[in-house]
Structure 1
């Protein structure tokens, strides 16, 4: 059996890992008794604040730790030894000396454990998260929030909601699929004046080549027709911002100019169509089948990825999501491998779920015009009568500069969990 690993890949000595349980149990039992003496039963943060003179944050963490349902959850929630010693100092004269001595011994054991653990408290949480999903998700959420704040400052812009809807349908050639994509920025903010805002990038073949994916507007105009053909009008009379299209080898990027004196619109919707983007067998493709890889380059509070697959296309398959450290610049998407984790793959928490049948599949909470925007885009693409099966992946504070891959695979649960929805719904 391999030794557990910390977040940076360092092995945790088995003897050290074995100490987690006894240290947690001893500290948990003694701390619960101390908090109960000071704050009563059931303990309340406000009582602990009054009895021990602690601030609200520390008092709340102490009470939450004593309510933990497992030793692992307790270790994740309990304050640092410094915070625990502040409680001990404040309890002098209010609780029996024997209890204080027991707690002090348990705190020293906790401190010793952290001192020996490679990476300290951060490594301890990473170790706990390897087997405790709830611990990992809480710690990951905190890390993603911190990343959002840092990247907003560094990038000079952020967005409240980034939404992408990708519609997958058979190509006319019969040996590939086409995409129609609608990208939305809701609550777009440029915090550093003069910052250029990249909206989206797509890896395609060089325009001079006849083969390979072909990027056009919804109506079929080429990129050379100008960026205005790739905007969808949003409510309001705000003028469209100045957008340019950057062509770098096989990558096409849509960018809002930093020199444009026009105020940054609060919402921007762009849409396009790509023909022959994924060569594949339309009847029985090799699985998993990589459909789309996105570079998460916009700091945002909410990310929504909707996947709509034509009703008759691959009825027994469903989309899956995975996250990767970025590969070399200009590198096309990596082919997915069943049951094998790639060395660049990140274990980020995300779920993709089937959307309900009917008009609800086209709505997005907090964005009233979302359904109509998607329907208008399909009408412009000549797909108003097409029926789709729909899924959604939604996550808070996605980590920028990470690749998000959408692939198709066999369902792990019952087949047919996604219901067909009509483009004419609602």
Structure 2
């Protein structure tokens, strides 16, 4: 095992060194070409675009790759093979110095051979570069997550504009623990295929012997998902929400009546619900729990997944917020404190944003009624909104089915 690991690490190092060498060759060859064009009076992007017969984005990437000091950055920003071939054809047609064209062609051929032989295609090479060139990670992830969103929306037959999982944590009156309000919202839901069906799996049951209770915001028992609907904010009516209990813990919620496609006369529907978890959250860490927080699953496929946590000023005032994203494909939902699930953490660029304090911080561009919703929830639950501070993780095109949460380290 140790020998195999050493071989793997050695090959990784060798690949990176070859990539850096190739990046330097490309920098040198392309710099020669750009300098040759400059001597002929073609110094701006427009003139270079015209003489090389390239599009504006390709010329921009080409010049960025030439100016990059790091060879790996050059490889990350350089245009694709077909664009580079067109560049060579344009240079030949413009009677650019033959030796210059030969030098560039050799470097382009070497790049193509390197990608085909060692990676298979440019997409696989870009995936490797996303680790080698840290500043490219965000763009790489965004590009592939957008493609995954389109694919899963088509395959599942449903999608949402926004999936919101928000929580308000506040002291339980007369008790040592904290209570919390959970808000779940699926906004702008629609079908992308006639057969599409929106299903969600969740839980609001209380294990035997537990000290906490789960009710509607008004304190009523919850027997089905529609009991949690916030009627003033949902365009889904209770008759369109079906609840099926699958076990002592999990229930499946099915929402029907979603519009097909996207048009002004068939806007996506909103499903907004809330629940009150009384005497639930721990004030301090225990032997099996060092963090607490709020989270949810990226389901259905959505453009934005947003986790908001609003803490009362008496709740963990010195604790730092961290985002945890888990792969749930094989082993399902994960507890952040479970050491056995550490390897299921997804290494993504997402971060937590501090929102500020009080109702003035109740803003969400993707949902204009968010401030109104939070004020309503606070009024019903008897929470002083002025004493809340907020934290947010907003992910565009989240990985379908992943578990996303904001966690706070509990005091000792």
TM-score tier, shorter chain, comes to: 0.7 to 0.9
Equivalence for 2:214: 215
Which secondary structure state, in structure 1, belongs to the residue aligned with residue 189 of structure 2?
strand
On the 8 A contact 1:195/1:258 being kept in 2, the answer is no
Shift of the 238–297 alpha-carbon distance from structure 1 to 2, 3 Å rule, reads: closer
Q: Name the CA distance, whole Å, in 1 between partners of 2:174 and 2:42.
A: 71
Q: 1:233 aligns with which of 225, 231, 252?
A: 231
Inter-partner Cα distance in structure 2 for 1:117 and 1:324: 30
1:139 aligns with 2:140: yes
User: 2:358·2:389 contact (CA, 8 Å) conserved in 1?
Assistant: no
Out of 280, 298, 302, the residue aligned to residue 300 of structure 1 is 302
- Tell me by how many angstroms 1:107 deviates: 1.3
Query: Corresponding residue for 1:184?
Result: 185
Farther off after superposition, 179-188 or 394-403: 179-188
Structure 1 residues 193 and 234: CA distance shift in structure 2, 3 A: farther
* 1:398 shift after superposition: 1.0
Partners of 1:59 and 1:393 lie apart in 2 by 35
Does the residue aligned with 1:355 lie in a helix, a strand or coil? strand
SS in 2 for 1:317: coil
The answer to whether structure 1 residue 268 and structure 2 residue 296 are counterparts is no
Partner of 1:369: 369
Q: Which whole-Å CA distance do the structure 1 matches of 2:25 and 2:204 have between them?
A: 56
* Partners of 1:175 and 1:328 in 2: CA distance: 37
- Is residue 187–residue 268 contact of structure 2 (8 Å, CA) maintained in 1? no
Cα distance in 1, alignment partners of residues 168 and 256 from structure 2:
28
Over 3 Å counting, the alpha-carbon distance change for 1:15 and 1:407 in structure 2 is same
| 1:291 maps to which of 290, 293, 311 | 293
Q: Structure 1 residue 368: deviation in Å?
A: 2.6
TM-score between the two structures when normalised by the length of structure 2: 0.83
Q: CA RMSD in A?
A: 3.5
Tell me if the contact between 2:42 and 2:48 (Cα under 8 Å) persists in the aligned partners.
no
Query: Retained in 2: the 8 A contact 1:251–1:330?
Result: no
- The question of whether the paired residues in 2 share the 8 Å contact of 1:317 and 1:408 is answered with yes
> Quick one: structure 1 residues 305 and 120, their matched pair in 2 at CA, closer, same or farther if it must change by over 3 Å?
same
**CA displacement 1:205-247 (0-9 Å, x = unmatched):** 45xx3426543211122222x4443122346988566112232
In structure 2, C-alpha distance between the alignment counterparts of 1:187 and 1:35, rounded to whole Å: 49
Question: CA–CA distance in 2 between the matches of 1:121 and 1:88?
Answer: 19
Query: What do residues 228-278 of structure 1 show as CA deviations (whole Å, max 9, x unaligned)?
Result: 4312234698856611223222123433136999x7753332111223544
Helix, strand or coil at the partner of 2:112? helix
SS at match of 1:297: coil
Structure-1 residue corresponding to 2:157? 156
Give the equivalent residue in structure 2 for 1:342: 342
Say yes or no: does 1:388 pair with 2:388: yes
8 A contact 1:125–1:136 mirrored in 2 = no
Deviation, 1:69, is 5.2
CA pair 240-283 structure 1, distance change in 2 beyond 3 A: closer
Whether the aligned pair in 1 keeps the contact of 2:244 and 2:251 (CA below 8 Å) is: yes
Q: Is the 8 A contact 2:285 2:291 kept in 1?
A: no
Cα pair 1:61 1:78 within 8 Å, conserved: yes
Q: After superposition, where does 1:75-94 map in structure 2 within 5 Å?
A: 75-94=75-94
Q: Distance in 1 between matches of 2:253 and 2:76?
A: 43
In the other structure, the counterpart of 2:313 is: 311
Q: 1:131 to 1:170 in 2, by over 3 A?
A: farther
Aligned residue in 2 for 1:17: 16
Evaluate the alpha carbon distance shift between residue 69 and residue 43 of structure 1 in structure 2; reply closer, same or farther with a 3 A threshold.
Answer: farther
Distance 1:260 1:77 in 2: 41
Q: Structure 1 408/239 Cα, relative in aligned 2: closer, same or farther at 3 Å?
A: closer
Higher helix share: 2
Q: 2:62, 2:79 within 8 Å by CA — same for their partners in 1? A: yes
- 1:242 equivalent to 2:240? Answer yes
Separation in 2, partners of 1:365, 1:61: 32
Cα offsets for 1:71-123 (capped at 9, x unmatched): 22221121233331221122114210011011012112222322343454334
Give how far 1:374 is off: 0.8
